[in-house]
Amino acid sequence: MASAEDTVQRIGRYEIVRKIATGGMAELYLGRFTGPGGFEKRCALKRILPQFAADQTFQRMFQNEARVTAMFDHPNVVQVFELGQDDKGQFYIAMELVNGMNLRQLMQLARDTGQAIPPELAAFMMVQALDGLAYAHAFRDPDSGEPLHLVHRDISPQNILVSYEGAVKLVDFGIVKGSSISGETQAGMLKGKVAYMSPEQASGEPIDGRSDLFSIGVCFYELVTGHRPFQGANDIMTLKSILDDPPTPVTHYVPDLANGIEHA
């Protein structure tokens, strides 16, 4: 007969508490590591979805995310603890658990309760996100001291976490691009969530850290107004809007917005 210990679901050395979410490439779990004397450490476990587990491209992207983020040490970037493989050979990342929600969930909560996110609070959160982004953009190789020229390429509300204590942290560097990282992008291939892309990213041109700043601006606009600045009936039309359409002024949605925030 199997013992209770044998029936506990695990990813590597971590017990699975529950599934948190499933994304396009990976699934996220709440996990815990236990030790003597009642020791317990909870973390988030990210694992490649089974249908992509054997795909070498996804494996390299996943390993790049772990390798790059593990070097980071900043309060506004989620910390990575470990890259491992489970008993089926699927890669997983153990990372810092943020007790809170992402900006997409926060905006949905505001809509569901009929409340607006105060512009000052939106600005506070974006400043923290920018601090984390500036750290990543300026990051240097710990051994050589050479700048890595990292670009996140997927800044979006889903990838900005807010803890219940008010800490803001960037996550999901899975498609990060840098001078020392082997990228998987082919000519004309887009990576990232379409509605938050810069015009350069939307047109498939080479990008640098300024593209991430544009994406932060799109997130800020949506936080303050409740609307995306660039919208279309589908991804193609949204890309066209990014390239061709000026965004509606923020004050159209929030007439009494402070001048400093409007021009941020």
| Chain segment 186-218, per-residue pLDDT in tens | 333 445 589 999 999 999 999 999 999 999 999
| 33/42 Cα distance (integer angstroms) | 6
pLDDT at 23: 82
| 229/236 Cα distance (integer angstroms) | 15
Q: Which residues, listed in sequence order, are joined to residue 46 by a DSSP beta bridge?
A: 28, 93
pLDDT at 3: 45
DSSP 175-212: T-B-TTS---PPTT---S-GGG--HHHHTT----HHHH
Pair type for strands 100-102 and 26-34: unpaired
pLDDT at 192: 59
Q: So what's the architecture of 4-95 in CATH?
A: 2-Layer Sandwich (3.30)
100-262 CATH fold? Transferase(Phosphotransferase); domain 1 (1.10.510)
Q: Is 154 designated active site?
A: yes
Cite the residue boundaries of each domain of the chain with CATH code 1.10.510.10. 100-262
Spans in the chain with pLDDT lower than 50: 1-6, 181-190
pLDDT at 264: 61
Question: Which of 131, 141, 143, 154 is the catalytic position?
Answer: 154
In this structure, the chain runs to a length of 264
| 70/79 Cα distance (integer angstroms) | 7
Cite the residue boundaries of each domain of the chain with CATH code 3.30.200.20. 4-95
